[in-house]
Amino acid sequence: MKNVSDIIHIGELIAVSKVFQLNTFQMITLIEKGLMEVFEDKETFLEKYGDEETFDELDWCELNNGKIFIKPK
Protein backbone atom coordinates (compact mmCIF):
# COMPACT_ATOMS: atom_id res chain seq x y z
CA MET A 1 0.00 0.00 0.00
CA LYS A 2 1.30 3.45 -0.95
CA ASN A 3 1.50 6.27 1.58
CA VAL A 4 -0.71 8.82 -0.13
CA SER A 5 0.67 11.71 1.93
CA ASP A 6 4.08 11.15 0.31
CA ILE A 7 2.55 11.56 -3.14
CA ILE A 8 0.01 14.37 -2.89
CA HIS A 9 -0.98 17.36 -0.77
CA ILE A 10 -4.48 17.52 0.75
CA GLY A 11 -5.30 20.59 -1.35
CA GLU A 12 -4.46 18.69 -4.53
CA LEU A 13 -6.60 15.79 -3.36
CA ILE A 14 -9.59 18.05 -2.71
CA ALA A 15 -9.26 19.85 -6.06
CA VAL A 16 -8.98 16.65 -8.09
CA SER A 17 -11.77 14.92 -6.18
CA LYS A 18 -14.14 17.63 -7.44
CA VAL A 19 -13.03 17.03 -11.04
CA PHE A 20 -13.58 13.26 -10.80
CA GLN A 21 -16.75 13.74 -8.69
CA LEU A 22 -15.41 11.52 -5.91
CA ASN A 23 -14.98 12.25 -2.24
CA THR A 24 -11.50 12.38 -0.76
CA PHE A 25 -11.86 8.96 0.90
CA GLN A 26 -12.72 7.38 -2.46
CA MET A 27 -9.72 9.11 -4.05
CA ILE A 28 -7.33 7.85 -1.36
CA THR A 29 -8.73 4.33 -1.65
CA LEU A 30 -8.29 4.30 -5.45
CA ILE A 31 -4.72 5.57 -5.17
CA GLU A 32 -3.83 3.03 -2.48
CA LYS A 33 -5.27 0.18 -4.56
CA GLY A 34 -3.42 1.34 -7.66
CA LEU A 35 -6.63 2.09 -9.54
CA MET A 36 -5.69 5.76 -9.81
CA GLU A 37 -2.22 7.00 -10.70
CA VAL A 38 -0.42 10.21 -9.82
CA PHE A 39 2.43 11.50 -11.97
CA GLU A 40 4.79 14.23 -10.80
CA ASP A 41 5.05 15.75 -14.28
CA LYS A 42 3.73 15.46 -17.81
CA GLU A 43 6.93 13.86 -19.12
CA THR A 44 6.54 10.88 -16.79
CA PHE A 45 2.90 10.55 -17.82
CA LEU A 46 3.78 10.64 -21.53
CA GLU A 47 6.52 8.02 -21.04
CA LYS A 48 3.91 5.56 -19.83
CA TYR A 49 0.90 6.46 -22.00
CA GLY A 50 2.47 8.02 -25.09
CA ASP A 51 1.83 11.34 -26.78
CA GLU A 52 -1.74 11.17 -28.06
CA GLU A 53 -4.27 13.88 -28.79
CA THR A 54 -6.88 12.12 -26.66
CA PHE A 55 -6.76 9.32 -24.14
CA ASP A 56 -10.12 7.62 -24.67
CA GLU A 57 -9.60 4.99 -21.98
CA LEU A 58 -8.54 7.48 -19.29
CA ASP A 59 -10.04 10.28 -17.25
CA TRP A 60 -7.21 12.60 -16.33
CA CYS A 61 -6.59 15.94 -14.68
CA GLU A 62 -3.45 18.08 -14.87
CA LEU A 63 -2.86 20.55 -12.05
CA ASN A 64 -1.11 23.88 -12.51
CA ASN A 65 1.92 22.50 -10.60
CA GLY A 66 2.38 19.84 -13.29
CA LYS A 67 1.01 16.81 -11.43
CA ILE A 68 -1.31 14.58 -13.40
CA PHE A 69 -3.98 12.35 -11.87
CA ILE A 70 -5.31 9.45 -13.95
CA LYS A 71 -8.30 7.20 -13.47
CA PRO A 72 -9.37 4.53 -15.99
CA LYS A 73 -12.90 5.02 -17.31
Least confident of 38-42, 48-52, 57-61, 65-69: 48-52
pTM across the whole model: 0.82
Parse the chain into domains and list their residue ranges: 4-72
36-53 per-position pLDDT tens digit: 999 999 899 888 888 776
pLDDT at 51: 74
2-39 per-position pLDDT tens digit: 677 788 999 999 999 999 999 999 999 999 898 999 99
Using an 8 Å Cβ cutoff, are 61 and 20 in contact? yes
What distance in Å separates the CA atoms of residue 53 and residue 10, rounded to the nearest whole number? 30
Residue 24 sits at the vertex; the CA angle it makes with 18 and 27, to the nearest 5 degrees, is 90
Residues 6+ apart with CB under 8 A from 21: none
Residue 61 sits at the vertex; the CA angle it makes with 56 and 65, to the nearest 5 degrees, is 145
